[in-house]
Structure 1
């Protein structure tokens, strides 16, 4: 004889062909007929307990001395049930309260800005004055914390008279004033030929960095003037018979 025992999560087939005698608690008195009782799984395989029926009040209690299901019915075939159907996804929760606005952060923007380079050039300018501005080039400076690198490339000449030494100085200006941070950007030529016959045109390059300039439009000029020390200015030529140029570049500095 066999019957099915339902345990939560398991479908158990109990074969009552075993020789183990059921506990008296299940059978009642020797003279009474056996009663059918339901077995509930406590989810502990080895320590399963049989349930007994209290005949007085029909309450189901656990017998501490009862024989386990495994002992009472050793020929058990366990059949695994099919997987359950996935549940329905839950709904989204209520949006939270917006957070407070954070403080403004700090950013080193110099590494992300594309700085520009500009060139102004002239062909055979041949400036003959030995004092005053020669040419200028306007540049748009992006940041106040950067420097301007300026370059002049072109030909120059200085000729002395009356057998006296002479000196001339070429220099950059920024909005009409020479650079102060860190130093003026200049180049000079001193001549003492003794007989005032030397008349040589040479290429000159004047290059330097100027810091401390405000952002915005900057008028970068190139000019000529006197040397320190009281020297006589000579007769000069700037940009004779060739191209000359001013190059301006904004660069970050430490």
Structure 2
């Protein structure tokens, strides 16, 4: 009786062992990480997001902030510049401006000012310009208000890039030059933030060219 039982159990044990071995040898393929997933890998990144500072410590991001606390009454021209070193060709720059702005109409019924970013003197064209438009009528008040503009400019070259904050007329909307103010004394700082980022996940959704 015992021999019969052993004979019946033996094939079952062999079968179970075969299943376990088959499952343990299954190989899972790992997809190539996107630029936003690469830090989940155990491999050392080789992009601009893995740098060493002066103390030999490794950093995971590349960013810079330029701050000033003066009032600029320029109506049409450069407000401030912030130099930034792009280390990986083809990456994107994330730029942010935050500060106090004011627009006053010089006797016109309507006026408009446009703040915008430039990169080495040119506005972003991939995917689109990064700007802030303030429109007002002559009868409306002109208070100082904190405003912010933000965007991404793709496919940047490596090396030093000069990010400029400008102000001027509103393209194709109102031709009259308004009285624009950027900043409001030393108690209200203005700032430009620049951060190097990986390329977008799906560039096909970007704004088509005009």
Bin the TM-score by the shorter chain. Answer: 0.5 to 0.7
Q: 1:109, CA displacement in angstroms?
A: 10
Structure of greater Rg = 1
Once the two structures are superposed, the pairs formed by residues 78-227 of structure 1 within 5 Å of their partners are 111=38, 112=45, 113=47, 114=49, 115-123=61-69, 125-194=70-139, 198-227=141-170
TM-score (norm 2): 0.65
CA distance in 1, matches of 2:126, 2:154: 5
Could you tell me whether the CA contact under 8 Å between 2:80 and 2:165 is conserved in 1? Answer: yes
Runs (5+) with no aligned partner, structure 1: 1-106
Task: Name 1:25's counterpart in structure 2.
Answer: none
Q: 1:163, CA displacement in angstroms?
A: 4.4
CA distance in 2, matches of 1:108, 1:218: 28
CA distance in 2, matches of 1:201, 1:239: 9
Runs (5+) with no aligned partner, structure 2: 1-31, 39-44, 50-60, 202-210
CA distance in 2, matches of 1:184, 1:121: 22
Task: Name 2:183's counterpart in structure 1.
Answer: 239
Could you tell me whether the CA contact under 8 Å between 2:111 and 2:138 is conserved in 1? Answer: no
Work out whether 1:249 is the aligned partner of 2:195.
yes
CA distance in 1, matches of 2:162, 2:103: 27
CA distance in 1, matches of 2:165, 2:108: 29
TM-score (norm 1): 0.54
CA RMSD of aligned residues (A): 1.8
Distance 1:130 1:148, change over 3 A: same
Q: In proportion to residue count, which structure has more helix?
A: 2
Question: Hey, which bits of structure 1, 4+ residues long, moved more than 6 A?
Answer: none
Using CA pairs below 8 Å that are at least 6 residues apart, which structure has the higher relative contact order? 2
